[in-house]
Amino acid sequence: MNRKSAPFLIVAVTTLIAALLAGWMVMIAVHQPWLGLEFDRAYQEKGLLIAAVSAKGPAADFKPGDVVVRIDDGNDLNIGLEPLDIIEEPDAVGTYAALENFFARQGMIYQILSGDRTYLTRLDGSRTAVDVALTRPLRDLPTAFWLQIGVGLACSMIGAFVWALRPQMAGARTLGVSSIALLASTYPSAIYLNRELTLADPLFFILNTVNPLGSLAFTVSLLIMFLVYPRRLLPPAVLWLIIFGFAIWWLLDTFRIGFAGPDLGRYLPTGLTALSAPIVAAVQYRAAKGKPHLQAALIWFGLSLILATVIFILLFVVPSLIGEPPLAPQAVSYALAILVYAGIALGIVRYQLFDLDRWAFRILFYVGGAMIFAALDVFLVSVVALDLLPAFSLALLIVALVYLPLRDLLAQLLMPTPNGRNVMFQNVVEIALTPERAQRDADWVKLLRTIYDPLSLAPSPEQHKPELAEEGQTLILPGYGFVTPLKLTLAHGGRKLFSRTDLELADELCAMLVHTSQSRHAFERGTTQERDRIARDTHDNIGAKLLSALHGTEPERKNAMIREALSELRDIINNPSGAHQSLEESLAELRLETVERLSASGLSLNWAVTGESLTGIAQDIVHALRSIIREGVTNTLRHAEASAMSISILLQDRNLCLTIADDGRGLHEQSSHRAGLGLDSINARVDTLGGSLETANCNPGFRMTVAIPVEQRQTS
């Protein structure tokens, strides 16, 4: 399992489990007695005021504005109804005694509604029989129910995804714990906060016990997270002591020990931890001085947490502590968690909080898209009552037309990627082709600042490839001898770490720089070599022919030699490898040319070609051999004062051996001349072909021997 697929699988499995739990909560919510009535929770007089009536519900005979004061089963069970019976959060009753009385009343109401027939008595005394439905329609579940389920599901996805990607990081682990705790808080409360009238007594008690545990664990885990991330502020023993202390507090509240009511047993510890977390976040911000990317992430995270905490305390904690009802529906408190986790998500994506790679955020998009599709499909089948195939198609269409474009828009806003790649690479090519090193360095720095906007940029020791260092705080780029190696610190003006995507782009830029620079150097070397070749060929071939024409006495022969020189000049310019002739053809022409040149000066020639077949010799060897013989003849005519010359060519064991000798003054007297361009150009040609050159004084005369390997140069 690779690095990218493992977190995706973990998040997908976690999301699936959270979704299955959500489905379980939905099943519990709908398998409750249903009257088809919506009561006004703000009504404080005797009985319960009906705010809305379902036209297809069991109590369709009632109308909005009716007040129900009593409920009975037609036998011995009956109870007068009070506004307290439909209170959203039972903890608001004030004392544990009142809470126990509330659960007892809920149990009796549930027992009456679960009977064969239920009778509702209005304020005017009229009594109506109602056949209560044993299940609540899915469409009757209010928006607040789905909001709480969605909050728990979304936050669990974010927490699981961070935990899965950084399982060894204490801050990531505590964030994962907080998401699980939030799930334990939102799911149970979604059922009892959005009940129609009642729940079974044991179920209601269990849900109301798990909910405060989840709420307290959520706020404590956020506090612990800021105590350990980015920097550990307290030793582990103290952290465990904090956790153990709040666990004892929850147990005391659960068993009704030491506190008069839920205000001190539940709201006080939750409020204290919720208020402490932003304070500790501020301490962490101060401790992150000199690390602007962490400070920027903590600002977003801390501000969202502070905003959510202040709203929660003002709307719920303060009213409870002074004995007043909450100032907003309880579901609002869970919607505040979206603020906190939105700050976390923004810190992760924009500033790489918890050092997550850019690709990781796509996991949330993919899993989120799958969950939205599944939810839409269920909604269309269960609520809208579409058939399976039309519901599936419509859900898929909505995801394709709405969610995917929105996902791309969010990705562009939250995860900006370098654009204008063609322009960037064009700039790299221009930098590599710049001849001056100082200008290349200046242009390279300018390009890097445009792309990455680093907080600082400084020279760095050379290395063989780009790499991330200091957990993504720095990006080190080699120079490869073309530019100065650099160390970039913190991207986007210090607001974020360098990511794997940044490193991949740096690899591409450096590869382009190296390739273009090497190509430029290869071109320059080729240009220099071609210039040297033309100089050698002009000296060896053209010079030899013009010299022969100069010393010739016959006008027609002079003109022929000049025409040959011009033809040779065109050949040198247009064909670097010379004419595509076999070695036998070239040597035959060269022998005739040499005889004529020597005869014009009164010299005789002994020409011998022996050994293996000369077919298939590469053109560069043919061209070089012709030039060497011409230069050798020219040297003899100019300096040797010889009467005879011999040229022998031997091909044996895939080695070509050329020997040129004369009977002139010899090497000793000619050294000042033969050390010039002639022998230098011959030596350069021989070196290029991997051969060897030997010269010797024959007393009298001069001998030059050239050996060239031809095994690897034979043409196909």
What average pLDDT score do residues 303-316 get? 73
Nearest-angstrom CA–CA distance, 85 and 105 = 8
Q: Which residue did the predictor score with more confidence, 667 or 623? A: 623
Nearest to 462 by CA among 477, 473, 445, 482: 477
Beta bridge pairs of residue 697: 702
How much is the pLDDT for 675?
45
Q: Which residues contact 220 (CB under 8 A, 6 or more apart)?
A: 181, 242, 243, 246, 273
DSSP 47-82: SEEEEEE-TTSTTTT--TT-EEEEEE-SSS-EEE--
Share of the chain above pLDDT 70, in %: 78
| Interatomic CA distance for residues 661 and 647, integer angstroms | 7
Q: What residues contact residue 117 under an 8 Å CB cut-off, 6+ apart?
A: 73, 74, 129, 130, 131, 132
Q: Is residue 163 predicted with pLDDT exceeding 60?
A: yes
Confidence tier at 593 by pLDDT (50, 70, 90): confident
Question: Six-digit token pair at 153?
Answer: 């599901």
Beta carbons of 548 and 541 less than 8 angstroms apart: no
3-state helix, strand, coil in the chain (%, to 5): 65, 10, 25
pLDDT at 1: 46
pLDDT at 715 exceeding the cut of 50: no
pLDDT given for residue 68 in this prediction: 96
Average pLDDT over residues 447-461: 86
> What does the pLDDT read at residue 155?
83
Per-residue confidence (pLDDT) for residue 712, from 0 to 100: 47
pLDDT(271) > 90: no
Of the candidates 534, 552, 636, 629, the residue with the CA atom closest to the CA atom of residue 560: 552
| pLDDT score recorded for residue 383 | 63
Sign of CA dihedral 121, 127, 129, 130: negative
Task: Tell me how many degrees the CA angle 590-657-716 measures, rounded to the nearest 5.
Answer: 80
- How far apart CA 486 and CA 461 sit, in angstroms, is 8
Q: Does the structure show a pLDDT above 90 at 115?
A: no
Which domains does the chain show, CATH number per domain? 5-32+137-409 (1.20.1070), 421-522 (no CATH), 582-713 (3.30.565.10)
pLDDT in tens, 605-649: 999 988 877 677 777 788 788 888 888 888 888 788 889 999 999
549-580, pLDDT tens digit by residue? 666 666 655 665 675 666 566 556 655 544 45
Output 457 or 421, whichever has higher pLDDT.
457
Secondary structure class of 50 (helix, strand, coil): strand
Tell me the mean pLDDT in the region 96-122: 92
pLDDT of residue 251: 93
Give, in degrees to the nearest 5, the angle at Cα 198 between 192 and 204.
Answer: 50
Rounded CA-CA distance 94/321 in Å is: 9
Mean pLDDT on 679-692: 82
**pTM, two decimal places:** 0.56
**For residue range 3-50, what is the model confidence (pLDDT) as tens digits?**
544 666 777 788 889 989 999 999 999 999 999 999 998 888 899 999
Return the pLDDT at 554. 65
Between the ranges 366-380, 404-418, 516-530, 691-705, where is the mean pLDDT highest?
691-705
Whole-number pLDDT of residue 579: 45
For the stretch 349-360, pLDDT in tens is 455 555 444 544
- What pLDDT, on the 0 to 100 scale, is given for residue 101? 93
Please state, as a whole number, how many other Cβ atoms lie within 10 Å of the Cβ of residue 290: 8
pLDDT greater at residue 447 or residue 530:
447
Task: Give percent of the chain above pLDDT 90.
Answer: 24
Q: What is the largest CA-CA distance in the chain?
A: 150
- What pLDDT score was predicted for residue 671? 47
- Across 183-187, 235-239, 430-434, least confident range: 430-434
Q: What is the mean pLDDT of residues 84-104?
A: 89
Instruction: Tell me the C-alpha distance between 465 and 486, whole Å.
Output: 12
- State residue 519's pLDDT score: 77
Computed over every residue of the chain, the mean pLDDT equals 80
- Supply 283's token pair: 């301490």
Residue 475: closest CA among 285, 301, 293, 289: 293
Tell whether omega for the bond before 700 is within 30 degrees of 0, i.e. cis.
yes
Q: Quick one: average pLDDT of 85-90?
A: 89
Tell me which range, 46-60, 481-495, 508-522, 645-659, is most confidently predicted by mean pLDDT: 46-60
